[in-house]
Amino acid sequence: MFESAELGHSIEKSVFDQEVPALREALLDAQYDLATARKFPVVILIAGVDGAGKSATVNTLNEWMDPRHILTVGFSEPSDEELERPHMWRFWRQLPPKGKMGIFDGSWYTWPILERAHGRIKDARLDQSLEQIRRFEQMLIDEGALVIKFWMHLSKQSQKKRLKKLEGDPLTRWRVTDRDWKHFAMYDTFREVAERTLRSTSTAEAPWIVVEAADPRYQKPTVGKIVLERLRARLDNPAPRPAVVHAPPPVSSIDGMNILKTLDLSRKLEKVEYEQELEKYQGRLNLLTRHKAFKDHNVVLVFEGADAAGKGGSIRRITQAIDARLCNITPIAAPTEEERAQPYLWRFWRHLPRRGRFAIFDRSWYGRVLVERVEGFCTEADWMRAYGEINDFEDQMARSGTIVAKFWLTISQEEQLRRFTERQESKFKRFKITEEDWRNREKWDAYEAAICDMLDRTSTEIAPWTLVESEDKYYGRIKILKTLCARIEEAL
């Protein structure tokens, strides 16, 4: 894997001086085309061994191109705000929007490689991390990003030489730390871990490019040329990505039976009983949020359901029981302009709560496989891959200590009609009913199919769906509160 990067590649100064100006001009041209088209973002990772000129390369790219269209991102210790979210949050928040380049000095690879090399995790855990990364990068690519990954390589001999040389020059001395020499002593271990990492994360669309780093005059134009080629190729062939469907679309069962139809919508609670239960579970929920152990967790709640199924009312019964300062409600409507320039899930990542807090989503990332699927707002390929991306997203939340609870509120078609009519007639609820609601209602069957697929594919152990019979609002609200309390108790 590293052999051809130990050949002693080098370039004469005269050749370098002659070729670089044209390369810079072409890079700038491509960069402006990217910014003008604003069709996709470019993610460039600069990884590699210590002393291999990673920062120098990042600086060179900034110098050769227009830095106003580049986001340069370096990662050191995570901040406390980052530590309280899933590991990938800090990367999501730094993704470049469409039309820009993000150059990452350090990346999602840094931590797994370091941890494995130092023996703090085993191969199995490393492989697990790499699998997560592969899926993350696949998502970026599916969302249209151009991902270019460089590994700067030095042979053991050259690394030693390079570190010594850097140390000798007062202008670069600061770059070499004790840590670098400690890492050098572990050269073989690092090489082994790096090889495993590169091998398993080189994919057709995001292959690793290993660059020999012994001679900067070879290294920098190599990186520049590859960036130019890949960027140019993408700009000049803006053909829509083939709508690759990774799996056949789901089929409905031949007997017409589905999980929604098995629900007993006649379940109900009398008002007196409801009020007793409400007090009981709201009290319990409140106590739970003040439990000592709750400080290490946070809660993400997803509310989905047919129009007029009672999402808003159910959410209010929860927020009544929680200190409002600990709770953030995000109603999901059309994405903003900044959100449209990012991968689909970005606008949900940005609302993940810190520890000890609740984030309630009134409609959610499941819009992709519900309304967007049914209304044709996205391609089949887009919503088909969304199931996997969503599971990954929720998995990452769960791993970081988040309690994820998802509620699907069900009502019958008849009950929906009754509520729609009631809303139209009430001055106070008039805002709640729109033309769109009536249109959605006509697509009841298509939605039912989409819902069943969603439940089948995304109800997981770590983030299960709770089906809520909401024909009777009292029954539905209590079921939700009860489930939520049980989920939190289980986690504490």
Give the H or E element holding residue 383: helix 380-399
Residue from 329, 369, 370, 481 touching its own copies (CB under 8 A): that is 329
Compute φ and ψ for 301, nearest 5 degrees: -110, 135
Residue 274: what residue type?
Answer: Y
Residues in the interface with its own copies (CB under 8 A) total: 50
Shortest separation between residue 389's beta carbon and its own copies, angstroms? 24
Coil/strand/helix, residue 106: coil
Shortest separation between residue 53's beta carbon and its own copies, angstroms? 13
Residue from 3, 13, 68, 204 touching its own copies (CB under 8 A): that is 68
Residue from 63, 195, 205, 273 touching its own copies (CB under 8 A): that is 63
**Closer residue to its own copies (CB): 159 or 342:** 342
Cα angle 150, 156, 160 (rounded to 5 degrees) comes to 100
Shortest separation between residue 76's beta carbon and its own copies, angstroms? 9
Q: For tokens 């890949």, name the residue.
A: 230
Radius of gyration, CA atoms only, the chain: 27
Residue from 12, 17, 81, 273 touching its own copies (CB under 8 A): that is 81
Tokens of 237: 């062939």
Q: Are 415 and 485 in contact (CB under 8 A)?
A: no
Q: Which residues of 258-277 are buried (b: 16+ CB within 10 A; e: fewer)?
A: bbbeebebeeebeeeebeeb
Residue from 171, 185, 239, 272 touching its own copies (CB under 8 A): that is 171
**Closer residue to its own copies (CB): 76 or 253:** 76
Piece of the chain touching its own copies by CB under 8 A; list 4-12, 183-191, 225-233, 318-326: 318-326
Report if residue 275 touches its own copies, rule: CB under 8 A.
no
How far apart, in whole angstroms, are the C-alpha atoms of residue 188 and residue 210?
A: 17
**Closer residue to its own copies (CB): 433 or 450:** 433
Residue 336: what residue type?
Answer: T
Residues paired with residue 394 on neighbouring β-strands, in sequence order:
none
Residue from 209, 327, 397, 485 touching its own copies (CB under 8 A): that is 327
Which alpha helices (DSSP H) does 93-204 contain, by range? 110-117, 123-142, 156-168, 178-185, 187-201
Shortest separation between residue 362's beta carbon and its own copies, angstroms? 6
CB atoms within 10 A of CB 420: 17
**Closer residue to its own copies (CB): 103 or 139:** 103
Q: Are 407 and 303 in contact (CB under 8 A)?
A: yes
277-306 mask for its own copies (x: CB under 8 A)?
A: ------x--x---x----------------
Q: For tokens 């050259």, name the residue.
A: 158
Residue from 262, 428, 435, 442 touching its own copies (CB under 8 A): that is 428
Residue from 1, 6, 69, 114 touching its own copies (CB under 8 A): that is 69
Shortest separation between residue 285's beta carbon and its own copies, angstroms? 12
Report if residue 362 touches its own copies, rule: CB under 8 A.
yes
DSSP 107: -
SS3 content of the chain, % helix, strand, coil (to 5): 55, 15, 30
Task: Please report, as residue ranges, which positions from 118 to 137 form the binding site for its own copies (by CB under 8 A).
Answer: none
Residue from 12, 192, 205, 323 touching its own copies (CB under 8 A): that is 323
Shortest separation between residue 420's beta carbon and its own copies, angstroms? 18
Q: Helix 271-289 to helix 473-491 angle, to the nearest 10 degrees? A: 20
**Closer residue to its own copies (CB): 185 or 333:** 333
Piece of the chain touching its own copies by CB under 8 A; list 211-219, 233-241, 320-328, 435-443: 320-328
Q: Are 341 and 97 in contact (CB under 8 A)?
A: yes
The site for its own copies (CB under 8 A) is made up of 25, 28-29, 32, 36, 55, 58-59, 61-63, 66-74, 79-81, 103, 105, 171, 174, 283, 286, 290, 312, 315-316, 319-320, 323-331, 336-338, 362, 428, 431
